[in-house]
Structure 1
Amino acid sequence: MTRSDKGVPEKVAWVLVRDNRVLVTRSHGRDRFYFPGGHREPGESDSETLVREIAEELRARIDPTSMVHFGTFEIGEGHPEHGPFRMICYTADHRGELTPSREIAEKAWFRHTDRDRVSAVDELVLTALHESGWLT
């Protein structure tokens, strides 16, 4: 698992909004949904991580030149879910259908009202999207 300079576990995530809903995925054996993405491999940049993870999870190709940092979200030490944890979120264009791979049980398009179905850090992103007017 990738960690920040301060030892906080980190994930690079893709934020894709369409029609006032955002793409989320659920892995096999999990109840909660998460933003697609994952942890950096040693020496990887955020863009390299996102390109690799989205290809692995959804068989789509991220255009790294279109990546825009949406925000960095963190839950703190002692959070009941699993703090501390940091998620670095980017919007980006893609090519190809969003087809879940074997590691993904399900993809869905969530509104802000679905925030109780995601992890704590993902809920922070849903709220930020709602407050910015991207989600209803």
Structure 2
Amino acid sequence: MAIYHFSAKVISRANGSSAVASAAYRSASELHDERLGRNHDFSNKAGVIHSEVMSPQGAPERLNDRTVLWNEVEAGEKRKDAQLAREVEFSIPREMNEKQGVALARDFVAEQFVKRGMVADLNVHWDKAKDGSPKPHA
């Protein structure tokens, strides 16, 4: 049986967040944060099966590079309470396999965000719940 989960939150400097660190964690990668002058390395984090930056037609090609994208977001905001990004997390039905789950997430993000002119950093996680069953989400 599918379990529904959908949440949205703001990634904000007022909360002590860094867009670069958040992107590194969600993508299970290592990214260099130019504003803070340090690397955020989450490359040992397990469970991320798909990761891509999705851009609307006409967006600068350089924004498809996650490091460039999030460092430009950080550089464009000067306030200590800047709202840097929105995080939208949603569950993927457990009944789907990984390929179907990635396709569902890509379709949803393309339709709801990219089509509306936003750049999206999509990361599909296929973690295990406490009971050992899959806990897929994006």
Q: Same fold (TM over 0.5)?
A: no
If you compute each CA radius of gyration, which structure gives the higher value, 1 or 2?
2
Higher helix proportion, which one? 2
TM-score by length of 2: 0.29
